[in-house]
Amino acid sequence: MPIDEITQKVSDRYARAASTGEQMCCPTSYDMADLQFFIPEEVLKISYGCGAPAGLKTVSPGETVLDIGSGGGIDCFAASRLVGPAGHVIGIDMTDTMLAIARKNAPVVAANLGYASSNVEFRKGMADSIPVNDGTVDLIISNCVINLAPDKRKVFREMFRVAKPGGRFTISDIVADQPVPQYLVHDAEKWGDCLSGALTLTDYITGIVGAGFLGNHLIKASPWQVIDGIHFFSVTLTGYKLPTNRPESDVRYATLRGPFSRVVDELGTTYFRGIPQPITPEGVCLLSQAPLASHFVLSSDPLWLDQADNRWTAVYPEEAPCTWQGHFALLAGPFIEVADDDHHVYHRGEPVEICSKTRHVVETDSYAPHFAIINRADQRVSGEPVTCAPNGSCC
């Protein structure tokens, strides 16, 4: 199906939904009770998405926020409250009906917030050709929109272009556990349902990294639909455009604390738990980002850790039989590869079948923020517990 045809069909679908009140299928998790105090009902009832990306817990007053695929404006208006009257919010959308509703309600929201004038503007534009100047945005948000774009790598490059050095994104989207087959790719109705355009988690994050973002990591994951054996699930991801002017630092080494026994970062550097690794200034900057900092000790001189050091962290599997229930774990960052203490190696985005014992490890507080878990079993599994091999490995 030609790209222009896909784009037009998606736009028509959302314009129809805005006019008729049709409920779109994407799962949402807005706190409507909170938003209804300042956002009109006309906006709330046409708010579609697969999360509440807004990443707005990290927003500071005075920042500039960009919403890709702003629709009726719900995420823009939520951001408006948090950036304050000195901040600026830009929403872009390709559908005239949605833009008209958003623009009509912008002054209403401003008045409800007590602002002298609206700090939100809505521009017509495409996700792969964002009408925003280079390096001007602190935070990019998007809610179940990028999967609708035929050329997602171009979207990611545009995001990197408009982000400030030191800027970030938080986006919610639908991904799949395996490549979407051609019969779905060419199903026009499924595009509007956030299915046909879904990438695998591997390809999605690879596109983000390819655009230049680093420190990409998972905020939330939840299952959505299973169609013909393909698992579609919602993820919320955050990543950073590292600052170009980095302060001088005397840090020369990084020592992995855990809980993984080995990790490979997005710069390709491998770290083994407890063993100091020389790092570059770019590596220092990357490992200082929030999702990675807690896993490392940065030092000017080589620093070795062992199990007696309280900075050493590990999660060991139980010494007990396990069962197989159909669960698969997908690493979602901020590392491209990790190894645990039970001989498993996880590559980012690739499903790894796990037993009950490994699932318990992956669901601990130390591991859980980095993994999405799906279950591929069609029905309840009644297999008997099995005893693991002498070396403790069963998967």
Residue with tokens 């209403």: 108
Rounded Cα distance, 152 and 155, in Å: 5
**Per-residue tokens: 40:** 């009109």
The pTM for the full model equals: 0.88
Report angle CA 367, 341, 344 to the nearest 5 degrees.
Answer: 80
Are 209 and 286 spatial neighbours (Cβ–Cβ below 8 Å)? no
Rounded Cα distance, 46 and 98, in Å: 9
395 residues of the chain, pLDDT tens digit each:
455 554 555 545 544 544 445 555 555 567 778 888 899 999 988 776 555 555 577 888 999 999 999 999 999 999 999 999 999 999 999 989 999 999 999 999 999 999 999 999 999 999 999 999 999 999 999 988 898 888 999 999 999 999 999 999 999 899 999 998 888 887 766 655 667 788 999 999 999 999 999 999 999 898 888 888 899 998 999 999 999 888 788 999 999 999 999 999 999 999 999 999 999 999 999 999 989 999 999 999 999 999 999 999 999 998 888 889 999 999 998 999 999 999 899 999 999 999 999 999 999 999 999 999 999 987 776 666 666 554 545 55
pLDDT of residue 49: 58
**Per-residue tokens: 57:** 């817990």
Are 331 and 347 spatial neighbours (Cβ–Cβ below 8 Å)? yes
DSSP 236-278: EEEEE---SSPPP----EEEE--SSSEEE-TTS-EEEBT-EEE
Count Cβ atoms within 10 A of the Cβ of residue 103 and give its class: 0-12 exposed, 13-18 middle, 19 or more buried.
middle
Q: Do the domains spanning 246-314 and 317-395 agree at the CATH topology level?
A: yes
Report angle CA 45, 49, 54 to the nearest 5 degrees.
Answer: 100
Nearest CA to 217 out of 54, 371, 59, 57 is that of 371
pLDDT of residue 84: 96
Architecture (CATH level 2) of domain 317-395: 3-Layer(aba) Sandwich (3.40)
- What are the residue boundaries of the structural domains of the chain, listed by start? 3-240, 246-314, 317-395
pLDDT of residue 186: 77
Report CA dihedral (36, 37, 43, 45) to the nearest 10 degrees. 20
Asked if CATH classification 3.40.5 holds for the domain at 246-314, the reply, yes or no, is: yes
In terms of DSSP H, where are the helices of the chain? Answer: 3-20, 32-35, 41-44, 74-83, 96-113, 152-162, 182-185, 188-192, 201-211, 281-287, 290-293, 356-362
**Per-residue tokens: 248:** 């001088």
Please provide the CATH number assigned to the domain covering 3-240.
3.40.50.150
pLDDT of residue 390: 42
pLDDT of residue 48: 63
